[in-house]
C-alpha cells in the first residue's frame, strides 16, 4: 500500500488520503506563520490559473495589473464536485478532511458543514480525521446540530475530531473546547511544536485515555517539528515531555517529524550538511539538515502509535 507523505495517515490496513470539499483559510495564531497549505494553494493556482485563485490575495503591480499572492484572503470556497468523492473510494481510507483549509472556518455555513458530516457518516468504511484551529466554532456547530435535531448530536464513530495546539497558550484555549464535545476519537496535533505543553494544565485535570470521553480524555496525540525554509526548531525535551505524559496514562503518541532541524547529538555525518545551528531554550543545539534527513527517531526509536480502531 502506498505510503502517504502525511505520516499519521498511514494507519495499517488503510490508504492515506486528503479530501478538500472546502478550501481557504486565514492565519489565527503563531503556528500558522509558515502555513504549508497557503504555499501549496499558490503553486496550484499559479500552474492552473483556476483552482484556489478565489481564496488567495491579489495584489497590483506597477502597471496596475493584479497578480496572485501566496497569502490567504480569508475567504473559503466549496468544491461541489469533490463533496461526494469518498463514496467512490472502494478501499478503506484514513482521510484528512480539509487539509487545505479549516472545516470550521467562520465563512463556512453550518449547513455546508452538516452536509460534509453526512457524507462522512454514509462512508463508514473510511476513517475521517477533522482537525481545526477554531474549536469554539466547532462547539457552536455541535450546539446548532443538537438544536436542529432536538437531541444531543454527535458525529458517527468513524469521524475523529482534533485541535491544533502549537504551544501552551493555544493548548489552554483550544483543548477546553475539545473537552466539551463528544467524538469516538478526540486528539491533539502539536505541530509545529513551539513550546512545552503540560496537558494537566491545558485540560484542567489529569490527562487520561478514553475513546469518546468528555472531560480530560484524549485518544491520541500527534507531535512534530516545523518544515519549510523558515522553520523554527523544536526542543527535544518538549517532545519527550509530551511522549512521557502520554505513555504514563496509555494515550497513543505519534511523533511525526523533527522537521528541518535535528538534535546535533543524533547526527553521525556532517559531510553533506549545512552547518547552520541554533540553540533552543539555552540547552540543545539543533542543526538544520532538512526534513528528509532529520527523520522522526526519538531516543533510538520511532513513536508511531494509533488509537485502536473500534476500541
Cβ atoms within 10 Å, residue 43: 11
Torsions phi, psi of 176, nearest 5?
A: -60, -35
Q: pLDDT (tens digit, 9 = 90+) per residue, 83-94?
A: 999 999 999 999
pLDDT higher than 60, residue 311: no
Percentage helix, strand, coil for the chain under 3-state DSSP, each rounded to 5: 30, 25, 45
The domain tally of the chain equals: 1
> pLDDT confidence of 55, banded at 50, 70, 90?
very high
CA distance 125 to 98: 19
In a domain, 29, yes or no: yes
For residues 47 and 40, what is the distance between their CA atoms, to the nearest angstrom? 11
Given a contact cutoff of 8 angstroms between Cβ atoms, the answer to whether 174 and 165 are in contact is yes
What average pLDDT does this structure show over 6-16? 96
- Give domain status of residue 57, yes or no: yes
Residue 23 CB contacts under 8 Å (≥ 6 apart), including other chains? 41, 52, 55, 76, 77, 79, 98, 100, 101
In a domain, 286, yes or no: no
User: What's the rounded Cα separation, in Å, for the pair 135 and 163?
Assistant: 7
* Residue 190 belongs to some domain of the structure: no
188 neighbors 194 (Cβ within 8 angstroms): no
Angstrom distance (rounded) from CA 271 to CA 289: 11
Give the mean model confidence (pLDDT) for residues 205-231.
84
Question: Has residue 171 been placed in a domain?
Answer: no
For residue 237, the 8-state DSSP code is H
Domain range enclosing 62: 25-75
Amino acid at each position: 500500500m502506498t505510503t502517504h507523505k502525511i505520516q499519521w495517515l498511514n494507519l495499517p490496513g488503510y490508504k492515506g488520503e486528503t479530501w478538500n470539499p472546502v478550501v481557504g483559510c486565514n492565519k489565527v495564531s503563531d503556528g500558522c506563520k509558515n502555513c504549508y497549505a497557503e504555499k501549496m494553494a499558490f503553486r496550484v493556482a499559479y500552474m492552473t490559473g483556476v483552482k484556489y485563485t478565489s481564496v488567495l490575495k491579489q495584489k497590483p503591480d506597477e502597471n496596475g495589473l493584479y497578480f496572485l499572492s501566496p497569502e490567504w484572503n480569508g475567504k473559503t470556497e466549496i468544491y461541489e464536485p469533490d463533496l461526494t468523492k469518498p463514496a467512490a473510494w472502494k478501499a478503506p481510507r484514513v482521510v484528512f478532511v480539509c487539509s487545505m483549509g479549516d472545516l470550521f472556518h467562520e465563512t463556512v455555513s453550518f449547513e455546508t458543514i452538516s452536509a460534509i458530516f453526512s457524507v462522512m457518516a454514509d462512508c463508514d468504511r473510511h476513517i475521517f480525521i477533522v482537525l481545526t484551529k477554531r474549536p469554539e466554532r466547532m462547539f457552536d456547530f455541535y450546539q446548532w446540530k443538537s438544536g436542529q435535531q432536538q437531541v444531543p448530536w454527535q458525529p458517527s464513530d468513524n469521524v475523529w475530531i482534533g485541535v491544533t495546539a502549537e504551544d501552551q497558550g493555544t493548548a489552554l484555549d483550544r483543548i477546553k473546547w475539545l473537552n466539551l464535545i463528544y467524538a469516538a476519537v478526540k486528539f491533539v496535533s502539536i505541530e509545529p511544536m513551539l513550546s512545552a505543553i503540560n496537558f494537566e494544565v491545558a485540560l484542567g485535570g489529569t490527562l487520561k485515555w478514553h475513546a469518546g470521553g468528555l472531560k480530560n480524555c484524549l485518544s491520541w496525540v500527534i507531535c512534530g517539528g516545523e518544515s519549510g525554509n523558515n522553520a523554527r526548531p523544536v526542543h527535544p525535551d518538549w517532545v519527550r515531555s509530551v511522549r512521557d505524559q502520554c505513555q504514563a496514562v496509555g494515550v497513543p503518541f505519534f511523533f511525526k517529524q523533527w522537521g528541518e532541524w535535528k538534535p546535533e547529538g543524533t547526527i553521525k555525518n556532517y559531510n553533506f550538511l549545512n552547518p547552520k545551528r541554533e540553540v533552543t531554550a539555552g540547552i540543545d543545539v539543533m542543526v538544520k539538515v532538512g526534513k528528509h534527513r532529520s527523520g522522526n527517531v526519538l531516543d533510538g526509536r520511532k513513536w508511531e502509535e494509533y488509537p485502536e480502531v473500534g476500541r
